[in-house]
Structure 1
């Protein structure tokens, strides 16, 4: 019996008990979902995989909203299983002694805005997102999440505005101070001009030429230490600075107008090497006991 005939047969049998809510058909109990995985490639294509627990009765799941295509249901060995579509976003699977995999492609979920991929996402099951290799920073409801060497994130009861960039424009600014060279990295789809590092005021300043764009400034901790204050045209603005790998801090902001950004730290790289006072202190620890002994004699 092929999938189409089977699906028609099941729907005929159960049509008297099927409630319709907002165009979505529901049949019986929902399956236990062991995992939901979303894989996103560099071009913004989305592939979804639901892993369901074995079941002795027909069960259904709700798919993630979007334009669903290429639906496939298999067991854990890759053997195709019978299933039936229930409306646009429902799938009815048959009893199985093995895990069941429901996979499909999703279109028109991600869209680009000002160079940033954006998804207004809502799905109440725990969901894992796997991002392209080029992505190391994503935004969940405007808050930055640094991936580092991780492939993605997990989201429970997930409702968020997901944002990220692939191949975000990056500029590298060289700062030379006392024979030392530091590199400040700035990532943004906004234009960046007039970069200045000012040691006396412990600050970095630059102009952003476009509004409402994420700006990520990666600052060497040896150059400018926190805590930090960030200003846009002399008005303090919100900036996230909790991403820190021990050598650099990620300062992330989203200015709502064009203008000058000023990042002010508490301390800059000292004007003479910190080794000097440390060496003096170490020598004092050694010499003072010796002086006391001489005085006693």
Structure 2
């Protein structure tokens, strides 16, 4: 037995000799995690659960960053197990059964632009169970629809998680050709001057608030897609993340307050101008000018050929007349 083995067993005996160890050490290979689950309740309290597969050697488990409390290491029967704590990770000892690590996590959720936000990073597949009251969920600025699912799963997880609780809903009634339609708007921003222009097939309203999420549920019979969304005269990004066949959910996050308009791209003549460059129009204009020039050149060539032919014919007639005159003189 060499010195390395002796040192290893001495450290191991030291750790085992302490009932609940909080020694600031780091040892062992990374543990194989069967699952990682993050549960957020209605009070935005977070509970984390790691399930570690059985192992014959000590394993290291990295924990999720945050303010950790109520840390427990249990076997599958719920009995507490000994472990080593190295701050951001713990050492679990060899076990023939799965090891369960649980703790509460705080100081990671922040309210930003009326959305609860978590800049999450943990390079393991992680499942999130979100509050039932969460009515709008975003991952990396993309809206997520849970439907009947309990939560979301993030693989090799690095994401910006955002969700809202009890976002206000505004209902706007629109009547067109004796038919009544309802447009639902979900937002924490203030909405004013809402109207639907039947002639231009355009939804218009004024939004007050910077970087506020706005979600509209639009009847497709009233305004069908594809869509364009403008803030003033500038086209802005949006997401069409649900379409149930009768209604479509449009989501946008304007950088600042202003006038929003939503149009259908099927009504080409009704579109607002956009500040973005349109190289296709430039190419089309260039092609049109080229075609016009070609037409003029062809017409000029035809006129020139006709003029040359007329001169040749006149010369032939003149030559024929001269020949006939000479023949008459010879006869006389």
**Superposition TM-score, scaled by structure 1 size:** 0.80
1:49 corresponds to: 49
**1:5 and 2:4 aligned:** no
Given that 2:25 and 2:86 are in contact with CA atoms closer than 8 Å, whether structure 1 keeps it comes out as: yes
Question: Whose helix proportion is higher, 1 or 2?
Answer: 2
Given that 2:25 and 2:85 are in contact with CA atoms closer than 8 Å, whether structure 1 keeps it comes out as: no
CA distance in 2, matches of 1:3, 1:243: 55
3-state SS of the aligned residue for 2:165?
A: coil
Q: CA shift at 1:7, angstroms?
A: 5.2
Given that 2:241 and 2:251 are in contact with CA atoms closer than 8 Å, whether structure 1 keeps it comes out as: no
What stretches of structure 2 of length at least 5 have no aligned partner?
Answer: 1-13, 268-332
3-state SS of the aligned residue for 2:18?
A: helix
1:156 corresponds to: 155
CA distance in 1, matches of 2:16, 2:207: 57
CA distance in 1, matches of 2:177, 2:232: 29
1:31 corresponds to: 31
CA distance in 1, matches of 2:103, 2:15: 19
Q: CA shift at 1:84, angstroms?
A: 2.2
1:29-49 deviations in Å (ceiling 9; x for gaps) = 111001111111222211111
Given that 2:184 and 2:218 are in contact with CA atoms closer than 8 Å, whether structure 1 keeps it comes out as: yes
CA distance in 2, matches of 1:246, 1:51: 41
What stretches of structure 1 of length at least 5 have no aligned partner?
Answer: 12-23, 269-297
How does 1:157-176 map onto structure 2 within 5 Å?
157-176=156-175
CA distance in 1, matches of 2:249, 2:192: 19
CA distance in 2, matches of 1:95, 1:258: 59
Q: After TM superposition, where is structure 1 displaced by more than 6 Å over at least 4 residues in a row?
A: 1-4
1:142-192 deviations in Å (ceiling 9; x for gaps) = 111121222211011111111110111111111222332222111111111
1:109 corresponds to: 108
Aligned residues between the structures: 254
**Superposition TM-score, scaled by structure 2 size:** 0.72
Residues 207, 82 of structure 1: alpha-carbon distance in 2 compared, 3 angstrom cutoff: same
1:295 corresponds to: none
Given that 1:136 and 1:149 are in contact with CA atoms closer than 8 Å, whether structure 2 keeps it comes out as: no
Q: CA shift at 1:26, angstroms?
A: 2.6
How does 1:1-297 map onto structure 2 within 5 Å?
5-6=18-19, 8=21, 11=23, 25-87=25-87, 89-266=88-265
CA distance in 1, matches of 2:17, 2:173: 64
CA distance in 2, matches of 1:258, 1:230: 14
CA distance in 2, matches of 1:7, 1:131: 32
Question: Whose strand proportion is higher, 1 or 2?
Answer: 1
Q: Larger C-alpha radius of gyration, 1 or 2?
A: 2
1:233-273 deviations in Å (ceiling 9; x for gaps) = 121101111322333211111101111110112469xxxxx
CA distance in 1, matches of 2:27, 2:142: 38
